[in-house]
Structure 1
Amino acid sequence: MKILFKAGRIVNCDQEKVCDLLIEDKKIVAIADEIDADDALVIDARGLLVMPGFVDMHCHLRDPGYEYKETIRTGTMAAARGGFTTIACMPNTNPVVDNKVVLEYIKSKAVREGVVNVLPIGAITKGLNGEELSEMGELKENGVVALSDDGKSVMNAGLMKRALSYARMLDMLVISHCEDVNITGEGVMNSGYMATLLGLKGMPAEAEEVMISRDAILALHTGARLHIAHVSTKISTDIIRWTKKMGVNITAEVTPHHLSLTEEEVDGYNTDTKVNPPLRTREDIMALIDGLKDGTIDCIATDHAPHGIQDKNVEYARAAFGISGFETAFSVINTYLVEKKHIDYKDVVRLMSTNPAKILGIDRGYIKEGAVADIVLVDPEAAYVVDKNKFYSKGKNTPYDGKVLKGVIKMTLVGGKVVYNSEEGILC
C-alpha cells in the first residue's frame, strides 16, 4: 500500500521543509515539493508536522508478572497514541528479564500483540538483587539493547565496576538508576520546604548526585558506555556536563514530568505526583532545560510507569512511585517547552527521535528517502483537556489529568502501516 502525505511540514533534527512524502513497502521512497501517486492513500498534512516516530528508551510494560498494571498490548497501544514507534522496556518484571526464557517471552508477545517496536532491556544483576551479575553475553545474543537494574541502584561499587567492565567488552550500554538508598531512606518526595510543610519524608537531591558521580568515575576508568536515567537536579546536570568535558562516554535523559512540574504539585497529597526521582524545584527545571539546549542531556524519555488504582489510591507515603507517561509526553513538551520558546521542533526530533535511536544503536529517528517509514503526524496547535479515563494504558496515574495541553498526535505509522489515528483509534 502506498501512502502520500501532502504539504506537511517535515521536521528532522537539522532541517524542516514543507513538502510531500511518499511511502511504499514500509519505506519512505520519495520526498519532493510535488509528488503525484494516483494509487496512493492521500493524507492532507497541511498545517501539520511530519516527524520521525518517537523513540522512548525508558519505559515499563509490567509484562510478565504485573499485567494488572499494564500488558505489552495496552502499553504499546498507549505508546502509539503518544507518537512512539519504538520503545525500550525495563527488566523489572516478575520474573526479571535476566535470562533467555523471559526475554523470549517478551519478544514473542511483542510480535503477536504489540502495536509498535519493542526493544527489551536486560538486568544488570540477577533478580535485580545487586548481588550477582546476570549472564550479559547471553542477554546480548538474544536481543537486549541495554542493561539496567532500573528501579534500583547497583549499590555495590565493586559490582558496578565489574558490570561496566564486562559491558565494555561486550559493547553494551549500561543504563543507571542513580539513587543512594542510604540517603533517600523512606523518603517519598523532594526534600525541602514543601516536604516539611506537608509532613512527608524527603528524598534529598544528593542521593541522585552522589551516584551519578560514582558511576561516571567508574565509566571513566572502564571505558564503558554509561547512560543516566531520569536526571532531575541542577547539580546532576552540572556533574554530567563536567564529566562529558572529561571525555567520559556518558549520555543522559530527562522525563517530561521533571521538565514541567515542581514539588508544589504534591500539595493536596495527590499520589499521581509521587515519582522516583521526585518532582524537584523550579531552579532544577530551568537547569534541566539548559542541559537539553547545550547537549548535556541527550534525550527525553517517558519513564512510563503505569500502576493499578490499588497502588495509588492509598495514603501518599504508601503509594507506589510512578507516572503513566506515553500518552501525554509530546503535548507536555510542546506546552511547557516549545510554546515557551525554550526549544523548537527540530530540538524535539533530536531529543525524542534521533538521539535516543543513536544511543540505542538502531536505524531510526530521521526522515529520509530509503528510511523505514516510522512516522508521527502532529497537530501542534490543537489543545485538549487530559482525561486519564480515556488512556489506552491501564495506568491512569497521571498528574496532568484535567490540565489543558497543546499538541495532538493525529497519526502514527510503524513500518509504513498506520497503527493509530486520532479519529479511529488503534488500527491493529
Structure 2
Amino acid sequence: MSFNIQKIRSDFPILSRRVNGYPLVYLDNAATSQKPQQVIDCIVDYYSNYNANIHRGVHTLSQEATDAYESARQKIQKHFNAKEPYEILFTPGTTHGINLVAQVFSTVLKKGDEIIVSAMEHHSNIVPWQMLCERTGAILKVIPMSEEGVLIFSEYEKLLSEKTKMVFVNHVSNALGTINPIAKIIDHAHKVGAAVLVDGAQSCSHIKPDLQELDVDFYVTSAHKMCGPTGIGILYMKEEWGNKLPPYQGGGDMIDQVTFEKTTYAGLPFKFEAGTPNISGGIAFGAAIDYLNEIGFEAIKEYEDNLLDYATQELLKIEGLKIYGTGPDKTSVVSFNIEGIHPYDIGSIVDKLGIAVRTGHHCTQPIMDFYNIPGTVRASFAFYNTMEEVDSLVSAVKKAKMMLS
C-alpha cells in the first residue's frame, strides 16, 4: 500500500463523525487507537460465522476458530520476530501481562534482592513491582531522568549490581513520547545477570521491535493501541523463563493431567493461558497486524515524524506554551501546558471544538511530580491524522488561551 492519507482515513469509520457540530479530530491515540473497518469486519465475521470455543472441540466450528486464533499467534510471532510461536502468550492487555510476571517472579526473588524501574513509567509498570517488593522483601530502585525527559543512563549503570534481579522500563513514555534506549538497557542488565521486562504499549504502533535482536526476556503490549480491539494483548516470554516460572492461574487449557492427588501443567503457551480467552480479540489482533504491515512501519514513522515536527513548531509559537519531553528521540506525542492555565480547562474547551486530547497526569504521577505540575495536555498523533488537524488543534489551543487568560 502506498501512503495515501485519504484512502487510509476512509478505512476508519469513526473519523467521518462529528463531535459538538465539528468534524472529529482524534488526537488521543496514546490512550487508544481507532479501528479500521478491516478489523471491525474481522470481529463481526467471527461471531457471525464460526463462533466456538477453541482447543477443545472436534467439531468444524471449533477447529476453524482454533486455526484462526493460532494463526493470529503466528502472525504476531513473525511481526515481533519471537523465536517460537509459543513464546507469545495472549493476555487481556499490557497491565495484565506485567502483573502476570510480577506474580510468578515471587518465586524467584528473596529479601534484599533489587529490582529497577525508570522514573518515567506508567503506574502499571510501577505498582505491581511495589507489591512484589512488599511480598518478597526485595528493594525497588529508580533510574532518574533529566529535565528534557530522558533517562540518565550513567545513573542506571550505577544502580546495577549483582543484587539486581530484574529491570523494568517502557520502550516509549506515554506522557512524554521519549523513546528509551532499551537495547543498551537490556545489554547492561544482562551483564549482571538481571532479566528485563519492556513495556511496549506505547511503542508498538510506531516501532516494529525485533525481540530476538533485542534479546529481551519479557515484552508486553496491547492490541487496542495498534488498531486492534480492547481486552487483548500479548506477553512475550523467552522460552527459558517460560519453562522455569510457575503458572499464574489454574483452570482449563493450562493443564496436562489432573487428578485429586496431583496436577501437571501444559507447556508454553498454554501453561499461562488458563480459561477461555478473548478469541475474537486474538484473531482481530492478527488482522490489525496485517493492516499495519500493509501500510508499512517505515512509512508510518516518516509520516508521524512529520506530524510531530509540524505540531511542535506551531504550538511553540503560542506565547507561554511549554512542551514536556524534549529529547531528541521521540514518537508523535506532544505534552504541553500554557502558563497560568490548568490543562483540564484547555482540554474541555478544545473538546467543544471537536478535538479529542488527553489531560491529566496520564497515569504517570511521578513524572508530573518531577516537573511540579498537576498534569499536561497531551496530543498524540497517529498515521491517519493530518496536517490540517494539527492546524485545528493549534487554532483551538489559541482560542482556549484567549478565553482563559
Band the TM-score falls in, shorter-chain normalisation? 0.3 to 0.5
Query: What TM-score results when the alignment is normalised by the length of structure 1?
Result: 0.31
Higher relative contact order structure (alpha carbons within 8 Å, sequence separation ≥ 6): 2
Counting helix residues as a fraction of each chain, which structure ranks higher? 2
